Amino acid sequence: MGEVVGCGLIAHVPTIMLPLEIRKELNNGADFSLVGGLQRLKAEVLKKLDYDIVLVLDSHWFTTVEFVITSHDRRQGKYTSDELPRGMSQVPYDLPGDPDFARLVSGKARENGTWITPIADPYLPIQYATVNVAHYLQKADEAWLSMSCAQTGETEDFLRAGRALRAAIAESGKRIVLLASGAMSHKFWPLQKLRAHEAAGVQHIFSAEHAAADLERIEWFKRGEHARVIQTMPDFLRFKPEANFGHYLMMAAALGEQELTAPGRLFSEYENSIGTGQVHIWFDRPTGGWTGQKKAAE
């Protein structure tokens, strides 16, 4: 039986790829806690875990008529962002794949009421929500796959995709790390104002209401109240969470959705990125396993 050995809501903001001196310049002489948080997450958690696959639930990869999962034997090259080429230019990546696992996930889609297609096209673009976190968290030769967030998807669609993941993981015999790579609230400052809001402080989040919505959910995550997060999605959508929070919802559904009670550990402060809410929260595998994974194996 396969299982998820750990998972997290992980920020991938371009700031983490800038040189230290520029990060300090943007943040009043201090580094952003997101950088050190990724370094600690690798050293304190991932290096001590045994796993075969990292699956990045990529909030920057928008597909339209289906979810897509990468099924390459390997993805390698250099990444330059079309969005922010000044800060993310020719970043090298070399990510082994697992085509069999990707096909297994696809095979569980229709029975869960959704559509997931494995794609191995060597020209398929890669997104920085994958590249940036792999830059900090890749260990050695573990497989790294990415799965898209359908831009036409609603909350139920993301939960269905997560249920398909749950069934595939249980059947796979693989040990999996799930990374929900994306922000919480995701409203940018307008261009003429954003340079005044590049520092990490909460006062730079787009509005006090956006920050309050994020911080409320962070407290729920810390207490393991995932059901509350899922049940209040209609309210949270008012604050424009990145990718409709699909990256988190797929992760949660893969682990039992409203039955998920794993408490979260913060590996960063809650920080601003030109108006958006960013944080690293890690959820350890509970003793005895995840409720959702045990049910999927029955």
What's the pLDDT tens digit per position in 164-175? 999 999 999 999
- Mean pLDDT, the chain, as a whole number? 97
State the DSSP H helix or E strand holding residue 44, giving kind and residue range, or none if neither.
Answer: helix 33-44
pLDDT tens-place string over residues 243-286: 999 999 999 999 999 999 999 999 999 999 999 999 999 999 99
The per-residue pLDDT for 296 is 67
pLDDT at 293 over 90: no
Between CA 135 and CA 129 the distance in angstroms is 10
Distance CA 47, CA 43 (A): 6
Whether residue 289 is predicted with pLDDT greater than 90 in this model: the reply is no
Residue 193, classed as helix, strand or coil, is helix
Cα angle: 253, vertex 118, 139; to 5 degrees? 70
CATH superfamily entry for domain 3-297: LigB-like (3.40.830.10)
pLDDT tens per residue across span 44-93: 999 999 999 999 999 999 999 999 999 999 999 999 999 999 999 999 99
SS3 annotation, 191-204: HHHHCCCCCCCHHH
